């Protein structure tokens, strides 16, 4: 089974992202707009309940973080995905590192770029047609994220929240 840890932004930012996702994101119906903190991954040597308890303990020690959207960008030519670029900060990177426990085995091995995907799995032509329009849109937005969510993927594709972790900064 696949798992992930994500931060869901405010409804306001989700609504903005969904104006593009409805039309250009093949995963629109599978998961709401989100910033992946960790994943997708599998659990090695732990049951879900036990893993969630350990992740909860780690997450409780982490502080809320600022999610600052700077602009729209693209992963092209690697992949035709368009995303809202989130400014990396010590809290986001520290949270990711703290949650990378030894029983979590990442499925994808690529450099971490905090972002919210708004378009993916498009043809080259489709990507080239909309990237200019998307880049002209002003997506600047800042908010505080005080919780992250452990998700699991159902067999037919959608992702479901298993548990929510509050980032309280308790030592």
Q: Which residues are catalytic?
A: 34, 115
Torsion of the alpha carbons at 167, 39, 53 and 44, rounded to the nearest 10: -160
Report the alpha-carbon distance of residue 77 to residue 56 in Å, rounded: 37
Report the alpha-carbon distance of residue 112 to residue 170 in Å, rounded: 26
Report the alpha-carbon distance of residue 157 to residue 26 in Å, rounded: 11
Please work out, in degrees rounded to the nearest 5, the angle formed at the alpha carbon of residue 74 by the alpha carbons of 6 and 101. Answer: 30
**79 to each of 25, 38, 73, 76, how far by Cα in Å?**
13, 20, 12, 5
């Amino acid at each position: 089974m696949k798992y992930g840890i994500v931060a869901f932004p405010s409804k306001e930012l989700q609504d903005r992202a969904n104006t593009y996702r409805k039309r250009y994101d093949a995963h629109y119906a599978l998961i709401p707009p989100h910033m992946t903190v960790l994943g997708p991954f599998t659990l090695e040597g732990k049951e879900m309940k036990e893993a969630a308890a350990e992740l909860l303990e780690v997450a409780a020690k982490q502080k809320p973080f600022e999610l600052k959207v700077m602009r729209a960008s693209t992963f092209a030519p690697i992949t035709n995905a368009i995303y809202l670029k989130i400014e990396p900060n010590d809290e986001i990177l520290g949270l990711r590192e703290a949650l990378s426990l030894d029983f979590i085995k990442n499925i994808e091995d690529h450099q971490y770029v905090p972002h919210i995907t708004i378009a993916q799995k498009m043809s080259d032509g489709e990507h080239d047609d909309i990237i200019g329009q998307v880049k002209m849109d002003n997506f600047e937005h800042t908010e505080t994220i005080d919780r992250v969510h452990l998700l699991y993927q159902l067999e037919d594709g959608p992702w479901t929240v298993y548990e929510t972790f509050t980032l309280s900064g308790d030592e």
